[in-house]
């Protein structure tokens, strides 16, 4: 599932390809994902242009000049493709924005589990959908992170994945953050020491920033990380021991029982 590093990569992709081009036509075929009527979406976009972008956790918001913001959530398999507006559109395209410059931006969702919406502004949208602060928000320093954790119950993996607590982290990157901080996914938040909270905060920022720098490409992530070895039968890159799996908050967590105490 696309998480914060993936969506930040999509944001930068849109910034470098799709801004300041007049939108000639919009095609949408996503009844399960649409949160706005197709005619309203087309009316808001056609004849205008994209002017800037913002990211809210796993959500990408694209400002329509003089109008609302286009909201995209990528679900389990979503992605974007900017290319010449010629030939057949890519398979599983459910949103197609045609630009007057002869290019188009395709929103591709193989599993149709994302979201397409309009918003008046990012702050109001975050409040309306109970999105917590972005996991890379500079305003969330160590002191705030500790305070927020002390208000939580349950396991640390569940807390990291809760979009009301922090937005942007899912199953994949929560495993990496826990691995690099030496923390088991099933540890209760109430049992975390101040030192462990500090290590978690540092690991969270480090993991997300490095993943963004590598464009969230699994093949470019460091071999010393858990993620390149995160599969059944995988070995810990530190100690060489077998990784274990455990169900946590309805998801499968991978961890090293020796290195994560």
Q: What is the pLDDT of residues 155-167, one digit of tens each?
A: 999 999 999 999 9
Exposed e or buried b per residue across 96-133, where buried means at least 16 C-beta atoms within 10 angstroms of its C-beta: bbbbeeebbbbbbbeebebbbbbbeebeebbeebebbb
Domain that holds residue 45: 4-128
Q: What is the CATH number of the domain that holds 191?
A: 1.10.8.50
Residue 61 located in a structural domain:
yes
> What's the pLDDT at 139?
87
**180 and 236 belong to one structural domain:** yes
Task: Give the ranges where 182-242 is alpha helix by DSSP (H).
Answer: 194-213
Checking if the pLDDT of 45 tops 90, the result is: yes
- Residue written as tokens 């967590």? 253
Tokens found for residue 203? 């690991």
**165 and 250 belong to one structural domain:** yes
**168 and 215 belong to one structural domain:** yes
Q: What is the pLDDT of residues 67-86, one digit of tens each?
A: 999 999 999 889 999 999 98
Which residues carry out catalysis? Answer: 2-3, 58, 251
**146 and 107 belong to one structural domain:** no
**121 and 78 belong to one structural domain:** yes
Checking if the pLDDT of 248 tops 90, the result is: no
Checking if the pLDDT of 249 tops 90, the result is: no
**Is the torsion defined by CA of 88, 91, 92, 98 positive or negative?**
negative
Pick the closest to residue 183 from 257, 125, 81 (CA basis).
257
> What's the pLDDT at 22?
98
Residue 136 located in a structural domain:
no
> Is 66:87 a contact under the CB 8 Å cutoff?
no
Q: What percent of the chain has pLDDT over 70?
A: 100
Checking if the pLDDT of 184 tops 80, the result is: yes
Checking if the pLDDT of 113 tops 90, the result is: no
Q: What is the CATH number of the domain that holds 35?
A: 3.20.190.10
> What's the pLDDT at 85?
94
> What's the pLDDT at 96?
97
Provide the number of structural domains found in the chain: 2
Checking if the pLDDT of 88 tops 90, the result is: no
Pick the closest to residue 141 from 204, 192, 189, 183 (CA basis).
204
Q: Report, as an integer, the average pLDDT of 41-57.
A: 97
Checking if the pLDDT of 1 tops 90, the result is: no
Q: What is the pLDDT of residues 185-201, one digit of tens each?
A: 999 999 999 999 999 99
Checking if the pLDDT of 112 tops 80, the result is: no
Checking if the pLDDT of 222 tops 90, the result is: yes
Question: Which one has a higher pLDDT value, 261 or 229?
Answer: 229
Checking if the pLDDT of 133 tops 80, the result is: yes
Q: What percent of the chain has pLDDT over 90?
A: 90
d(CA 145, CA 169): 14
**Is the torsion defined by CA of 11, 111, 178, 123 positive or negative?**
positive
> What's the pLDDT at 76?
84
Residue 135 located in a structural domain:
no
Name the average pLDDT for the chain: 95
**106 and 29 belong to one structural domain:** yes
Confidence tier at 207 by pLDDT (50, 70, 90): very high
């Amino acid at each position: 599932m696309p998480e914060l590093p993936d969506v930040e990569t999509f944001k930068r992709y849109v910034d470098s390809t799709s801004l300041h081009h007049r939108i000639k036509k919009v095609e949408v075929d996503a009844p399960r994902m649409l949160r706005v009527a197709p005619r309203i979406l087309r009316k808001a976009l056609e004849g205008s242009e994209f002017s800037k972008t913002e990211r809210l956790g796993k959500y990408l918001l694209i400002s329509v000049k003089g109008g609302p913001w286009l909201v995209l959530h990528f679900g389990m398999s979503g992605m974007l493709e900017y290319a010449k507006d010629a030939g057949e559109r890519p398979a599983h395209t459910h949103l197609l924005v045609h630009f007057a410059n002869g290019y188009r931006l395709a929103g591709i969702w193989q599993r149709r589990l994302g979201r397409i919406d309009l918003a008046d502004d990012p702050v109001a949208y975050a409040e309306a959908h109970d999105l917590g602060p972005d996991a890379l928000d500079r305003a969330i320093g160590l002191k705030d992170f500790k305070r927020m954790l002390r208000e939580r119950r349950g396991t640390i993996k569940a807390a990291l994945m809760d979009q009301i607590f922090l937005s942007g982290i899912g199953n994949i990157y929560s495993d990496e953050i826990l691995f690099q901080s030496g923390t088991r996914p099933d540890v209760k938040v109430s049992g975390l020491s101040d030192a462990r909270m500090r290590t978690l905060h540092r690991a969270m920022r480090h993991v997300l920033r490095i993943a963004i720098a590598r464009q969230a490409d699994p093949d470019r992530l460091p071999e010393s990380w858990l993620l390149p070895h995160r599969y059944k039968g995988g070995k810990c890159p530190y100690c060489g021991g077998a990784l274990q799996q455990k169900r946590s908050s309805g998801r499968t967590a991978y961890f090293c029982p020796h290195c994560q105490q």
